[in-house]
């Protein structure tokens, strides 16, 4: 459950003294924050605590993480000259703390708890870089994509290179699986996704496969493009709550896994409503191997940790 | 093309002197604003100029339309007592200017140009009332829906009553078809849509059918719930750009029409890219009766009016 930590008081306490970037850059602290939801909630795997911008901060991009807003660039990417701001990533130099955090986590985690690496996908990263801040419409991003296809290809290639290197390094440092988050790709038509996004995500997912670990390919609002996401790659395809899990899995094909797909806002419902929603997801998963129970998106910060823990128990069959 | 007027200089000139509510309340001015895109762009139908909040302002709800934000309620709807703020609509008393605008438009429009009425659907209206302002997650709305089902039903019933009365009055005043906009219903799972939204939209669409005109049932992000939207009703189902039009129509069934589904941001692309996107929509419509060419959502204000006019000519076969 991504961003589950945000709802935990022990995480908030750490955040009072350290900002997000500071946490990611201190391996002991970052490992602690990564472990908090594992300890408190009893989930089956730990997900590296990092920001989607961590690798781009690593290559020196001037992006600020603004509280309650998100990534902000005072000078958004718009011209050929901006490409130089995205040099290749050298993990040992640029994000040594991420690698050290993963090493630490592998020594700290019990063997039955998996360790999952994490990176944003090129389109989602590009949308922040081009818009300069979070967007509802992605107007500038689409305009660049349509109007300057060569520049777009260059931007996506550079991002795909950075992300491939970043995830491969995470695997070498101990990640046993990785998630590629294309949170905003669902704003595109299927044709645009295929033309402007798929090849770059595919390059990354191929590199991860070559590194020898399974990958989870995640997006939201992707009900219409699940087949194309499958084509891009990923051993497991993330499915948000908009589409019933069984319908999604049938379209994706049973030779791939699926991850999902509880509406994170169902966690704000009374227990019986929430429990029914969880049971529906489990029923639609039909107990097949390859269903990873999860939320369709990140945890809302107002969610009760006790509720999260109870959902985990229900999924584990320990709470009716 | 909804909100096409926003991109027109002649509309902006009027907006310098009159705010949105003032325009809707002055029938001559409102008719003029409704006609502007028809004159400039050569579209086949005029859509009543109104705000989604017009009927709620009519019943006296304390909602403000804030420039560059949207509808804002300083006291969002949250408790049983708030229901009294939503009394039934009496169109002749509460929104006489809307009826007068439609009467005027029928005398002004050439007979070959259709006149389409317009209202927001209960879920989309409720989301504004419960959130108090536009939202990305609809957390409060979903929380109310899950936690207080009786209050939710009461809210949706009251809104459905208001909207039914409002649209029926629009038909009596001269609207030859109506659009029901459920812009944000796509944030829900299909199961939640069926449980918490469908019955109320269905009541409205039945009332419109009884009034004897066709209806267009519109939403965005609805790729997973098209069958449920069809079930709720509408002679024509609106389809956004995320799903290919032919795939959507097959799922909806050819006994209904479809409206769509160009990405409004494709209007910012160079002409050849845009023209190809338009042609793709037309190809996917396969020339079947019942395809209404349109955008998947409102026009971005930065769109060039010349581009909009050229798209209309292309669709009419007057521009290759």
pLDDT tens column, B181-224: 999 999 999 999 999 999 999 999 999 999 999 999 999 999 99
Residue B320 has pLDDT above 70, yes or no: no
Query: Cα–chain-centroid distance for residue A108?
Result: 23
CA pair distance B77, A181, nearest whole angstrom: 35
In chain B, what residues touch A269 (CB-CB under 8 Å)? 142-143, 146-147
CA pair distance A219, A198, nearest whole angstrom: 13
The two three-digit tokens of residue A168, written as one number: 């491969």
- Residue A85 in any domain: the answer is yes
CA pair distance A172, B169, nearest whole angstrom: 67
Look at chain B and count its residues.
320
Quick check: B16 and B52 in contact, CB under 8 A? no
The two three-digit tokens of residue A256, written as one number: 């791939």
A162: phi then psi, degrees, rounded to nearest 5: -60, -45
Catalytic residues of B: 2, 6, 15, 51, 128
Tell how strand B64-66 and strand B45-47 pair up: unpaired
What's the number of CA atoms in the CB half-sphere (13 Å) around residue A317? 2
Q: Which domain holds residue B258?
A: 2-315
Q: What number is the average pLDDT over the span A89-118?
A: 97
List of residues 6+ apart from B191 with CB closer than 8 A: A244, A280
Residue B175 has pLDDT above 70, yes or no: yes
What pLDDT is attached to residue B74?
95
Contact B270 A243 (CB under 8 A): no
- Cis (ω within 30 of 0) for the bond into B261? yes
Q: If we measure between CA atoms, which residue out of B191, B135, B111, B317 comes closest to residue A262?
A: B191
Q: How confident is residue B96, by pLDDT bands cut at 50, 70 and 90?
A: very high
Tell how strand B215-219 and strand B236-238 pair up: parallel
Which of B139, B143, B265 lies nearest to residue A137, judging by beta carbons? B265
What pLDDT is attached to residue A92?
98
Question: Would residue A6 show up in a list of annotated catalytic residues for this protein?
Answer: yes
Q: What share of chain A in percent tops pLDDT 70?
A: 100
3-state secondary structure of B177: strand
Contact B189 A268 (CB under 8 A): no
Biggest alpha carbon distance in chain A? 58
Q: How distant is the Cα of A138 from the closest Cα of chain B, in angstroms? A: 9
List of residues 6+ apart from B13 with CB closer than 8 A: none
What pLDDT is attached to residue B5?
79
Q: Give the number of A-B residue pairs with CB atoms closer than 8 Å.
A: 102
Q: How confident is residue A67, by pLDDT bands cut at 50, 70 and 90?
A: confident
- Cis (ω within 30 of 0) for the bond into A261? yes
Contact A269 B143 (CB under 8 A): yes
3-state secondary structure of A106: helix
Higher local confidence (pLDDT), A140 or B7: A140
What's the number of CA atoms in the CB half-sphere (13 Å) around residue B143? 14
Q: CA quadruple A80, A84, A88, A94: dihedral positive or negative?
A: negative
Q: If we measure between CA atoms, which residue out of B219, B155, B81, B135 comes closest to residue A265?
A: B135
The β-bridge partners of A65 are A71
Quick check: B35 and B49 in contact, CB under 8 A? no
Number of domains in chain B: 1
Q: Which helix (H) or strand (E) holds A310?
A: helix A305-315
DSSP conformation class of B292: E
Q: Which helix (H) or strand (E) holds B94?
A: helix B91-94
Question: Would residue A85 show up in a list of annotated catalytic residues for this protein?
Answer: no
Q: How distant is the Cα of A214 from the closest Cα of chain B, in angstroms? A: 27
End-to-end CA distance of chain B: 20
Any idea which residue has 């002055």 for tokens? B26
Biggest alpha carbon distance in chain B? 58
The two three-digit tokens of residue A127, written as one number: 């949308």
Question: Would residue A51 show up in a list of annotated catalytic residues for this protein?
Answer: yes
Q: How confident is residue B3, by pLDDT bands cut at 50, 70 and 90?
A: confident
Q: How far is CA B287 from CA A103, B291, B316, in A?
A: 60, 7, 12
Q: How distant is the Cα of B165 from the closest Cα of chain A, in angstroms? A: 31
In chain B, what residues touch A275 (CB-CB under 8 Å)? none
What pLDDT is attached to residue B67?
87
In chain B, what residues touch A246 (CB-CB under 8 Å)? none
What CATH number does the domain containing B256 carry?
A: 3.20.20.210
Residue B2 has pLDDT above 80, yes or no: no
Residue B4 has pLDDT above 80, yes or no: no
Q: Exposed e or buried b for every residue in B32-62, given b needs 16+ CB within 10 A? A: bbbbbbbebbebebbbbbbbbbbbbbbbebe
What pLDDT is attached to residue B86?
97
- Residue B320 in any domain: the answer is no
- Residue A320 in any domain: the answer is no
Q: How confident is residue A177, by pLDDT bands cut at 50, 70 and 90?
A: very high
Residue A320 has pLDDT above 70, yes or no: no
B110: phi then psi, degrees, rounded to nearest 5: -65, 150
What pLDDT is attached to residue A5?
79
Q: What number is the average pLDDT over the span B267-282?
A: 97
List of residues 6+ apart from A155 with CB closer than 8 A: A77, A83, A86, A122, A126, A129, A130, A144
CA pair distance A186, B243, nearest whole angstrom: 10
What pLDDT is attached to residue A43?
95
In chain B, what residues touch A191 (CB-CB under 8 Å)? 244, 280
Residue B156 has pLDDT above 90, yes or no: yes
DSSP conformation class of A152: H
What pLDDT is attached to residue B155?
98
Q: How confident is residue B319, by pLDDT bands cut at 50, 70 and 90?
A: confident
- Residue B221 in any domain: the answer is yes
CA pair distance B170, A30, nearest whole angstrom: 60
CA pair distance A175, A105, nearest whole angstrom: 9
Q: How distant is the Cα of A32 from the closest Cα of chain B, in angstroms? A: 29
Q: If we measure between CA atoms, which residue out of A52, A11, A16 comes closest to residue A30?
A: A11
What pLDDT is attached to residue A45?
96
What pLDDT is attached to residue B52?
96
Contact B225 A241 (CB under 8 A): no
3-state secondary structure of A34: helix
Q: Exposed e or buried b for every residue in A27-44, given b needs 16+ CB within 10 A? A: bebbbbbbbbbbebbebe
From start to end of A223-297, where are the E strands? 236-238, 257-262, 291-295
Question: Which residue of chain B is at minimal alpha-carbon distance from A297?
Answer: B137
Q: How confident is residue B136, by pLDDT bands cut at 50, 70 and 90?
A: confident
Q: What share of chain B in percent tops pLDDT 70?
A: 100
Q: What number is the average pLDDT over the span B288-309?
A: 94
Q: How confident is residue A134, by pLDDT bands cut at 50, 70 and 90?
A: confident
The per-residue pLDDT for range A186-219, each reduced to its tens digit, is 999 999 999 999 999 999 999 999 999 999 999 9
List of residues 6+ apart from B170 with CB closer than 8 A: B48, B98, B99, B102, B117, B118, B119, B178
Interface with chain A: mutation pick from B127, B130, B188, B189, highest number of A CBs within 10 Å: B189
List of residues 6+ apart from B309 with CB closer than 8 A: B40, B41, B42
The per-residue pLDDT for range B237-274, each reduced to its tens digit, is 999 999 999 999 999 999 999 999 999 999 999 999 99
Q: If we measure between CA atoms, which residue out of A232, A238, A146 comes closest to residue A197?
A: A232
3-state secondary structure of A167: helix
From start to end of chain A, where are the E strands? 45-47, 64-66, 70-72, 114-120, 177-182, 215-219, 236-238, 257-262, 291-295
Tell how strand A236-238 and strand B64-66 pair up: unpaired
Tell how strand B291-295 and strand A257-262 pair up: unpaired
Q: CA quadruple B59, B62, B66, B69: dihedral positive or negative?
A: negative
Residue A2 has pLDDT above 80, yes or no: no
Contact B243 A263 (CB under 8 A): no
Across chain B, mean pLDDT equals 96
């Amino acid at each position: 459950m991504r961003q589950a930590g945000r709802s935990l008081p022990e995480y908030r306490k750490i955040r009072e003294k350290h900002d997000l970037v500071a946490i990611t850059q201190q391996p002991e602290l970052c490992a602690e924050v990564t472990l908090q939801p594992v300890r408190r909630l009893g989930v089956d795997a730990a997900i590296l605590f990092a920001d989607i911008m961590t690798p781009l901060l690593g290559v020196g991009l001037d992006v600020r993480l603004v509280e309650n807003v998100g990534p902000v660039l005072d000078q958004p990417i718009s011209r050929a000259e901006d490409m130089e701001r995205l040099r290749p990533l050298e993990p040992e130099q640029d994000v040594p703390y991420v690698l050290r955090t993963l090493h630490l986590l592998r020594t700290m985690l019990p063997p039955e708890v998996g360790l999952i690496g994490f990176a944003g996908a090129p389109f989602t990263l590009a949308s922040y870089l081009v818009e300069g801040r979070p967007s509802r419409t992605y107007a500038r991003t689409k305009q660049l994509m349509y109007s300057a296809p060569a520049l777009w290809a260059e931007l996506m290639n550079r991002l795909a290179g950075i992300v491939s290197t970043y995830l491969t390094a995470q695997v070498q440092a101990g990640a046993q699986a990785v998630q590629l988050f294309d949170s905003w790709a669902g704003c595109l038509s299927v044709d645009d996704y295929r033309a402007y996004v798929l090849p770059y995500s595919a390059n990354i997912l191929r590199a991860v496969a070559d590194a020898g670990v399974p990958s989870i390919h995640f997006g939201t609002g992707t009900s219409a493009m699940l087949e194309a996401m499958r084509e891009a790659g990923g051993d497991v395809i993330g499915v948000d709550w908009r589409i019933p899990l069984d319908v999604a899995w049938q379209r994706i094909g049973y030779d791939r896994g699926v991850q999902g797909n509880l509406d994170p806002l169902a966690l704000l419902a009374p227990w019986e409503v929430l429990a029914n929603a969880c049971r529906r997801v489990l029923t639609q998963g039909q107990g097949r191997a390859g269903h990873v129970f999860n939320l369709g998106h990140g945890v809302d910060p107002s969610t009760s940790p006790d509720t999260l823990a109870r959902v985990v128990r229900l999924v584990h069959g320990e709470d009716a």
